[in-house]
Structures are given as structure tokens and as C-alpha cells.
Amino acid sequence: MFGISLAFSVHYLRNQAKRACGMSRMGKCEVCSECVAKYKCPKCLVASCSLKCVKQHKSANDCSGLRDKTAFVEIKQFDDRNLLNDYRFLEDAGRKKDNTTRDELKRKREKPNFLRELHKQAKRRKIDLQIMPYPMDKRKNNATTYNFRSQTILWQIKWIFPKSDGCYTDTRVTEKSIFKYLLKKYIDPTESDPVYRQKLKEYTKKGIDECNLYMKVEGHPANDLRYYMLDKDKSILDNLEGITVVEYPIIYVEFGDCSQYTLMEKGTNG
């Protein structure tokens, strides 16, 4: 027990000696010239002994007390502390750049003209089109637009084939397109792309006529999902009328047992 106490005392005295040595190297306080200096101003390196002297120094010399992050340091004086300071400086610069980008994203929350027109045209077609804030992935990746020349909405459509783990996206699809003709690209035995046909061979074997199309009802909780059954013999416009669409339609293509899709009729509250 005595040995431990003695070792602790030696360790304590050594630390005190190191501190005293550090203080002596700084010399006396350059403000009051009375006490041993304990602190050094990060900006102008003036040594001080107390909070009172620090404040007095800042007031007398109009000093902010902030280190000059871009001050020149000779290579022979460059040490780990300078390296850490430079690293923090770069971190601060990156943070400020990120904040500037965020401000730009805030400004983009105001819908541009083409989005306001798209929303207006969807409303005329009795489609409740919900447009998300710009930073959201679904907004940034949506290519749906209104074509003034043809006066039609060109939709982006995401197809999900659950039984084959397939997920594909079509862009600039005119609202007059019939769903079953759009599906030919993926699961028609002769007209489909060979790559899609191989990936979706279970669907190709069944054929388009055996497949059903479902679209999730927006606004329902995750534990009580509802779906609309779409008519593949009708156009996109006819199918989306009276439906809420968040950015673009996401359509599930299924065949066989579809009991997991609890259906809901258009115009009902579920």
C-alpha cells in the first residue's frame, strides 16, 4: 500500500514539474506583467495569466482571439498541431460548402414552371399528382413531364415483377398508351427484349393475359396496405383518373395467387 502511494506521489510531482516548466517557458503574463502566464492568444500569441487579462488584451488590441487559419507556417516549424489545424480548416470549408448547397435546395422547394404546369394538367385529368420536395430521390429521379406540343403528359412508369425480383423503369410514356402493349416489351413471348424475356421467363410463360396489374393506394399505413387493380386493356390516363399518384406510377405485375393484394375501389375511403 505504501509503495502504491509513493508511486502516485512521484507521478503527481512529475506532472506538476512539467506544468511548471511549461509555464516558465511562456514567461510572465504580457498583460499584467505580474503572474506566470498560463494561456496564449491563438491569434497574436500574446501570453496571459487569467480570464481578466485575456479580456483586457482583446479589448485593448481589438483582438478576436481566433486563430488565423491561413497564416503561413515555415516547413521547419510545421508539426502535428499545424497538420491538425489544417485538417480542421478543410473540414470547416467542406461544412460551409454543404450548407450553401442546402440553401440552394431550400430555394428549389418553389416549384418551377414546368412542374406547376404538370400539376395543373394532371388535375384537369382528375389525377391527384403529389410532387415531393426536391431533395427526395423520387423527385430528383422523376422524368414525368407535360409536352406542350402534343398536349399530353409523358409519364415515367416503374414496373415491379415480384415473382422474378425484376424492377424496370420506362420514361416519356404517353398517357394514351395501353398497359398491355407496354408490357409486350418485357413479357411477350416473341416481341419482348431477349434480356427481359430471360429474366422474366415465369411471366413470359404465363403471358400478358394471365397477369394482373396493381398499384398501391397512397396514404394507407404500412400495416394496412390497399391496392387498386388496374385495367391492362385501358390507357394510363383512364387507369389513373381518380387516383393519387406520388411523382409517378409504380405498378406491380402479378399472376396466380394474388391474395396478398387487398383491393380497394376507386372513389372509396377504404
Amino acid 22: pLDDT? 45
- Grid coordinates in use for 207? 403471358
Amino acid 8: pLDDT? 47
Overall average pLDDT of the 255-269 stretch? 83
- Residue % of the chain over a pLDDT of 70: 85
- Grid coordinates in use for 55? 479580456
Amino acid 133: pLDDT? 85
Amino acid 152: pLDDT? 96
Amino acid 4: pLDDT? 47
Q: Which residue would you say has higher pLDDT here, 220 or 152?
A: 152
Amino acid 250: pLDDT? 96
**What pTM value is reported for the model?**
0.59
Amino acid 57: pLDDT? 87
Asked if 249 contacts 144 with a C-beta cutoff of 8 angstroms, the reply is no
β-pair partners for 213: 230, 253
* Residue 153 binned pLDDT confidence (cut-offs 50, 70, 90): very high
Query: Chain-wide mean pLDDT for the chain?
Result: 84
What is the gyration radius of the CA atoms in the chain, in angstroms? 35
Tens digit of each residue's pLDDT (9 = 90 or more) over 196-216: 989 999 999 999 999 999 999
In terms of DSSP bridges, do strands 152-161 and 250-254 run parallel, antiparallel, or are they unpaired?
parallel
Tens digit of each residue's pLDDT (9 = 90 or more) over 44-98: 888 889 989 988 888 888 888 887 777 777 888 888 877 888 888 888 888 887 7
Amino acid 109: pLDDT? 56
Amino acid 91: pLDDT? 85
pLDDT surpasses 80 at 186: yes
Amino acid 11: pLDDT? 52
Distances (CA, A) of 151 to 117, 125, 175, 202: 11, 12, 10, 38
Distance CA 175, CA 238 (A): 9
Amino acid 101: pLDDT? 66
What string of DSSP letters covers 49-95? SSHHHHHHHHHHHT------TT----GGG--HHHHHHHHHHHHHHHH
- Grid coordinates in use for 61? 488590441
Amino acid 2: pLDDT? 44
Asked if 56 contacts 30 with a C-beta cutoff of 8 angstroms, the reply is no
- The 10 Å Cβ neighbour count of residue 56 is 14
Question: Hunting for cell 413479357 — which residue is that?
Answer: 187
| Amino acid type, 115 | L
Overall average pLDDT of the 14-23 stretch? 50
- Grid coordinates in use for 139? 423527385
pLDDT surpasses 50 at 123: yes
Largest CA distance in the chain: 96
